[in-house]
Amino acid sequence: MRKQQRADHLLNRLEELYPETPIPLDHTSPYTLLIAVLLSAQCTDVRVNLVTPALFKLADTPEKMRHIPVEKIREIIRPCGLSPTKAAAISRLSEILVEQHHGIVPQSFEELEKLPGVGHKTASVVMAQAFGVPAFPVDTHIHRLAKRWKLSSGKNVVQTERDLKKVFPRESWNKLHLQIIFYGREHCTARGCDGKFCILCKELNFKKVCE
């Protein structure tokens, strides 16, 4: 089976397995989504969702957040890890949003990636999930599975994103990236699979790849 055939099969099967793709990070606006995604760096979505209610109760807009002392933000988000860096980024990006964007999260990759603590993956998540712009955020699950499924030989997420965008239709990207994440968490974990119980690896005969 050639790469495009594998991609087509995976697209169809993932749609069968995950017809609904709820956004994993709890949020009520593009701003709260942006903050939640920033906090998710090197942290699980579950833990972020446990932390953000207290943070957003304190401040759920950039106008409010800019007035919260960095030390207070750091205290609340400490369970998410990297709290000094993340707290400083949250405070500063909130100031920038008010000063340069009228308190509104910009709807462009370029402007988002200028914000402190916001890299391409974070910007991609916000563009896809908050604004519906086609994007393919690549996290560790997607990077791992793209390699296992022989869709990319990329040694970094930039190359993996580029490769996946070539084999999957643009209109599928926003939903598909979540479907792959859900599948990776549930069936094909970082510890590997033996090709017998992982549904898709078994179907595509990827035993040697997954071991």
- Name residue, tokens 């169809």: 12
Has 139 been annotated as catalytic?
A: yes
Q: Which of the following is catalytic: 64, 139, 165, 207?
A: 139
Has 121 been annotated as catalytic?
A: yes
- The answer to whether 142 touches 177, Cβ cutoff 8 Å, is yes
Is 99 exposed, middle or buried (CB count within 10 Å of its CB: 0-12, 13-18, 19+)? exposed
HSE toward the beta carbon, residue 151, CA cutoff 13 A: 27
> What is the spatial distance between Cα 81 and Cα 63, in angstroms, rounded to a whole number?
25
Residues recognised as catalytic: 121, 139
